[in-house]
Structures are given as C-alpha cells and as structure tokens.
Amino acid sequence: MSTATSIRAWAAQALNQPVVPFSFDPGPLGTEDVEIRVEHCGLCHSDLSVIDGEWGPAAYPVVGGHEVIGTVVALGQQARGLKLGQRVGLGWMSGSCMACAPCLSGQPQMCRAGVPTIIGHHGGFAERVRAHWLWVAPIPEGLDPKDAGPLLCGGVTVFSPFLNFDIKPTHHVGVVGIGGLGHLALQFARAWGCEVTAFTSSDSKRDEALQMGAHHVVSSVDATAMKALRGRLDMVLVTVNVMLNWKALMSTLAPNGRLHLVGVLPQPMEVEAGSLIGGQRSVSGSPTGSRQDIDTMLAFAARHGIKPQTEHFPMSRLNDALDHLRAGKARYRVVLDADFEQA
C-alpha cells in the first residue's frame, strides 16, 4: 500500500474557534514509522486541554486525537513487529529517542525528546496518522475495535500504577472519581483482585460504580464515612482534575500507603509532612505507560472483558463532541468514527 501525499483532518486553527476541515502534506514516511488508516479515535479531556489552551498556548493548527484504532497501510523500511492490514492502536506517544536513560531503561514514555501524538504532531482526528513503530500496538482479539480506543490513553494511565507500584490482589484500593478514567480504574482494580472502594461526590453514580467493580462506594464529602476508612487503603488513585480534601484522603491510607495522581490539578496541593512521615506514606503521580505497559494492559483487558463505556459521534461532528465533553455530559468516553469520503 502507498503512503498518503495529502491527509484530510479536522483541526483547531485558533483559540476559541471551532475545528474545521484541514489538509496537510505529511512528507516522506520515516524509515521507522508506520502509517495508520484511522477507523475510530477516542476524544480525551487532554485533547480538549490542548485545543482550548488549558495547558498554555497551543501551536495551531492542532489536529487532536490520541486514542486511535485503525489499520496499518504503510511501513517504513525499518519498522518492526507489524504488518500491512494489521489492526493497531496509538495512544499519547508517537515517538521517543530510543537512546536516553529513560528509553534504555524501559520507560520511553518519560523520554525528554518524546513526541506526544497531539503536541507538535498531527493526531488521529484525521483519515491517517503516523507514528514510530514502537508506539503502535497490535489490538488483541477479544477487544471490540470500535470501543477500544480509550484504552490506549485512559486505560493504560490507570493501569500502569498497578504494574509499577507492586499493587497486590490482597490490597485495598480506592478510586477517586467515577468518570472517564475512574470507570476504567474500577474495572482494572476489581479484575486485579483488589478490594475496591469508589469515592464520589455524586450519589447518582453509586449503582454504576458497584456495577463497574467497586465493593464499596463512599461519599467523599461525608466526614463520618471518610473517618471510618482511616488507615485502611493501600493506594488511593485520584483520577479527577479538581482540588480535594487532601487531609481526609491521606487519613484513609494504611502504613506505606500511596496517594497516586493521574489527573492534572489546577492548583498546587497541600499535604502535611506529618501525614507522610508517621506512616511512611507517599504521594506520587504518573503519565501514560510504556509500550510494554500498553501491551500488558490490552491483553489483561481482553482476558477480563474490561471495556470503556462509550458514546459515539461521526468525526464530522467533532465540534458537537467537543461541546458534549466540555459540558461534562460524557458517560464516560467519547469515540469518533471516521467518516471521510474515500478518495
């Protein structure tokens, strides 16, 4: 199959402007790169943050989309481990240097020269997208391709802490927030074998949280309920991007417990040193996972029937999908279905 000489996409051309049709010349395919024909692409809050300038001024035009499901249509001469026509996924990262200490130690997601799929790079809100072969992951049988995209970002973001911080099936894990990340974290934690407590400020999500894997649901604004959890949790996974009662959450941690953040907070958090020192507790955070983490997560999700709860929009209705996400109406992940007319 031949590479594209012009790729059609949807792009934000400026701040506070709707996305519009956009075409670009991708240039020659790199020798280690892969070209993917996009079938489905998840819409993540990170796309919104870049398009809306929440993380600072964006380099427009921005072609978002970093939860891609598609098929390989072209391979560079030195691209490895993939074949034409194979169904694959692409997440937050599209490239890494392969030579720095993080890359050589198996943590290429922390590469200082890494290339995020939607920052300085055109993402998956397009008919085709390109990436280095390392970051293009085969999709295992058992996962529905139309709904698997959010696993490539949201899924691995909440799954990798279980791998990297030695969470055991005997541990008691808390998940804060029953949203785009939290509903996946509940499923992974339950399938991992943990006792799972969901924290939510919305009683309307209680039944859903139990269905998704929580053994217990606690109101994070109920002081009595929070006090009853004092010293019981081995990890609290914070999946939201809002400020919380950190003192109350820290009090729920067992000795050696960990408060772990995967949501980007709008302000600095305050944590009392004594709450860390006394029980040898820690506060940490993590970005996306490595390619190995992604492969492990996809296999685990396929084996245990873990899947995002999705709502679908045609990609041509991207502006409607963005407004839906901005309004906080998504339950719980939005997926765009590519509907470019075939040239």
Q: What is the β-pairing status of strands 136-138 and 115-116?
A: unpaired
Which class for 248: exposed (0-12), middle (13-18), buried (19 or more C-beta within 10 A)? middle
- CA separation for the pair 240, 229 (Å, rounded): 20
Is the Cβ–Cβ distance between 96 and 108 less than 8 Å?
yes
pLDDT in the model for residue 206: 92
Q: What is the C-alpha to C-alpha distance for residues 303 and 26, in angstroms, rounded to an integer?
A: 37
Distance between CA atoms of residues 50 and 29, nearest Å:
26
DSSP code of residue 4: P
Alpha-helical regions (H) of the chain? 45-51, 101-104, 145-148, 154-164, 182-192, 206-212, 223-228, 246-251, 273-277, 291-304, 318-326
- Tell me the pLDDT of the chain (343 aa) as tens digits: 578 789 999 999 999 999 999 999 999 999 999 999 999 999 999 999 999 999 999 999 999 999 999 999 999 999 999 999 999 999 999 999 999 999 999 999 999 999 999 999 999 999 999 999 999 999 999 999 999 999 999 999 999 999 999 999 999 999 999 999 999 999 999 999 999 999 998 888 899 999 999 999 999 889 999 999 999 999 999 999 999 999 999 999 999 999 999 999 989 999 999 999 999 999 999 999 999 999 999 999 999 999 999 999 999 999 999 999 999 999 999 999 999 986 4
Q: Could you give the CA distance from residue 70 to residue 112 in angstroms, rounded to a whole number?
A: 27
Q: What's the confidence (pLDDT) of residue 174?
A: 98
Token duo for residue 159: 């799954």
Amino acid at 222: D
CA distance 43 to 16: 18
Complete domains list, the chain, with CATH: 7-153+289-337 (3.90.180.10), 155-285 (3.40.50.720)
Half-sphere exposure of 312 (CA within 13 A, CB side): 11
Instruction: Give the residue among 99, 105, 116 at the shortest CA–CA distance from 62.
Output: 116
CB atoms within 10 A of CB 342: 4
